[in-house]
Amino acid sequence: MASKITIPDLKKIRVTDPLFSHYADMVAKKMIPVQWEILNGKQGQSRCFCIDNFRIAGGTLQGEHRGVVFGDTDAYKWLEAVAYCANNGETEYISQADELIEIIGQAQQPDGYLNTYFTVCHPELRWKNLTEGHELYSAGHLIEAAVAYYNATGKRRLLDIAARFADLICGTFGDGEGQLPGYPGHQEIELALVKLWRVTGEERYLKTARFFIDCRGRTPNYLLREMNDPQHKLIFPELRSYDPSYSQSHVRPVEQKTMEGHAVRAMYQCSAMADLADIQQDEALRNACQTLWDNVTKRRMYITGGIGSTRVGEAFTVDGDLPNETAYAETCAAISLAMFAQRMSLTAVDSRYADIVERVIYNGFLSGTSLDGKSFFYENPLSIDLLNRRIKYWRGNEVRLPITQRVEVFDCSCCPPNVTRFVESIGKYIYSYDSDTVYVHQFMESDTDVAINGGMAHVSQSTDYPSDGSVTIRVSGAPAKLAVRIPSWCRDCSAGAERAENLGINGGYLFFDCEDGAKIELDFDMSPVIISADPSVHEDSGKVAVMRGPVVYCAEGVDNGDIFSLAVSPELNAEPVDLGFGIPALDVDGTRKLGAGALYAPADEIKYESTRIRLIPYFAFANRGESDMQVWMNIK
């Protein structure tokens, strides 16, 4: 049975939102061409070999495979982003993409297998190191790119390549005679096979996606058996003592209760689980998703929507452990949380899912990219104390604090191309619809057309959200219900309607019955709010953060001098200031601790002065040189 709530065809969603148009433009004009150069090794970087690896695997170039085992995915994510750009009217990269697709096609083996690392370096180890080899992960990104490219251009070449490989995978893995009862060490293939099923209708893709979810966590553990085999050729030394929870294979997914292990792996798995629960109307799987959702969003997520708090294993730790300065919060992990959230929003009318998408978008996701689109954070800390950079040993370990400045290229370049594909497909997070209702999940200037109630409804939004809290939504064409998310951060909202009847709130959405020409005007109170964390988050004890609408703010040294001597005042008395970030900064009331002229002094001798504190949107930190930064601040 198909899902009741669906996303409109991406080609039918036009995003004109000023903030996101700026990012989309930057992706199309700067990031995609730069990433193309990187793929082609033209950046003077010693780390760029992706396309040559395909040539070597295809026999058109002599040489050695170089780079990480999953390097092929850089090309696949680039193609996916190019496809989404084409949906948005930017078709200038299509000829380069077609060239690349031919090179990829030449690297495909006669039986459909496609992976440059194993083809060039270890053909004898094919499917023998699922734990570390990323073959199924890379295949998943190939499939995602192929589906996006086909949907955008109608061209079948990449889809055919991907489908041939998927057919090989479906034949290779399973519980049947001669099949491997294994599953990927890094999830991704599952959600990709669901996409391939959607576009081809071939049941075997759905069946294999489900197989990969169902056989994970079986005893004995497949991945552990691989790793413990004396013949095993280790790829990542840090995985030597393998803990199956790293890849969420410690327990069957349907029985998992807490979010464990590597964050991106966990979220890709949950995304596929949510897809399958919805498509197959599987209540047990849906409940497992909800349990995991509650754990991550109520216990293990930063205020920014960042997840995976430790760099050791890029992983979740325990409830409440959300250190600010050493926050890992990988950009890909934030993106993958949005992916899970969006799929959950298709399974139920519940605004909490789209609330999290919004939290991710304006905070933990946007922070991953510099304002000029040239450099990236892999890790997204919530505090930078430059003092700690002057210490050689920190908490007994050699200093390894998160970097303080974004960089242009990484050895493991997963995040930047994930940013490009996310930005160019942002439309899919805005709307969804079912047989009689169009849902507005995100407020961005945009419009879409959906087939509904036997006709076509056109829905458009005009807004400068989240700089401003007013949103006008118009509905024309076929009569339809409109369900508008009331954001959970919003404490006061007014709604006016013309040619539409207000039906009240359900699941956090305000419903309207709209006639042709309906106009809904919403006004969300955007007054800044002081936020306090749950006591379980010891790190934030006694501290506060400031949010305005969905946007989290931070203080930087570049504006405020010593930010650690500051405390915001409970009244805030905030004034917006335009610093060109696309969303205003805020000047708020506060105090600065001056001390008493001694290293230690009785508290009543400490002097303070009143001051104004400049807060900027968190996503804009580290764009004006190296600086102290903190989200969670003192209050006085």
- By annotation, the residues acting in catalysis are 314, 414
For 416-559, strand residue ranges (E) read 431-433, 437-440, 446-452, 455-463, 470-477, 480-485, 493-506, 509-524, 529-531, 545-548, 551-556
Q: How far is the CB of 263 from ligand FUB (least distance, A)?
A: 7
Question: Rule CB under 5 A: is residue 415 a binding residue for Zn ion?
Answer: yes
Among 414, 440, 510, 588, binds Zn ion (CB under 5 A): 414
Q: How far is the CB of 70 from ligand FUB (least distance, A)?
A: 5
Among 193, 215, 273, 332, binds ligand FUB (CB under 6 A): 332
Residue nearest to Zn ion (CB): 332
> Hey, which residues between 406 and 435 contact ligand FUB (CB under 6 A)?
412, 414
CA distances from 473 to 182, 286, 407, 506 (A): 49, 32, 39, 19
Question: Rule CB under 6 A: is residue 330 a binding residue for ligand FUB?
Answer: yes
Report the partner that residue 483 touches, choosing among Zn ion, ligand FUB, none (CB closer than 5 to 8 A by kind): none
How many residues make up the chain in this entry?
A: 636
| Number of other CB atoms surrounding residue 394 within 10 Å | 14
Residue 432 CB-half CA count within 13 A: 22
Q: How far is the CB of 416 from Zn ion (least distance, A)?
A: 8
Residue in this structure with the two tokens 């917006």, named with its chain if needed: 576
Report the partner that residue 13 touches, choosing among Zn ion, ligand FUB, none (CB closer than 5 to 8 A by kind): none
Among 20, 23, 49, 70, binds ligand FUB (CB under 6 A): 70
Question: Rule CB under 6 A: is residue 334 a binding residue for ligand FUB?
Answer: no
Report the partner that residue 186 touches, choosing among Zn ion, ligand FUB, none (CB closer than 5 to 8 A by kind): ligand FUB
| Position 357, amino acid | V
φ/ψ of residue 609, rounded to 5: -130, 150
Q: How far is the CB of 73 from ligand FUB (least distance, A)?
A: 7
The angle at the Cα of 364, spanning 318 to 3, to the nearest 5 degrees, equals 85
Report the partner that residue 314 touches, choosing among ligand FUB, Zn ion, none (CB closer than 5 to 8 A by kind): ligand FUB
DSSP letter assigned to residue 623? S
Residue nearest to ligand FUB (CB): 264
> Hey, which residues between 160 and 189 contact ligand FUB (CB under 6 A)?
186
Among 13, 34, 264, 296, binds ligand FUB (CB under 6 A): 264
Give CA–CA dist 75/558, Å, rounded. 38
SS3 134: coil
Q: How far is the CB of 27 from ligand FUB (least distance, A)?
A: 20
Question: Rule CB under 6 A: is residue 139 a binding residue for ligand FUB?
Answer: no
Using CB under 6 A, count the residues that bind ligand FUB: 8
CA distances from 316 to 246, 307, 333 (A): 9, 7, 11
Give CA–CA dist 4/588, Å, rounded. 46
SS3 576: strand
Report the partner that residue 518 touches, choosing among ligand FUB, Zn ion, none (CB closer than 5 to 8 A by kind): none
Site residues for Zn ion per CB under 5 A: 330, 332, 414-415
Binding residues for ligand FUB (CB under 6 A):
70, 186, 264, 314, 330, 332, 412, 414
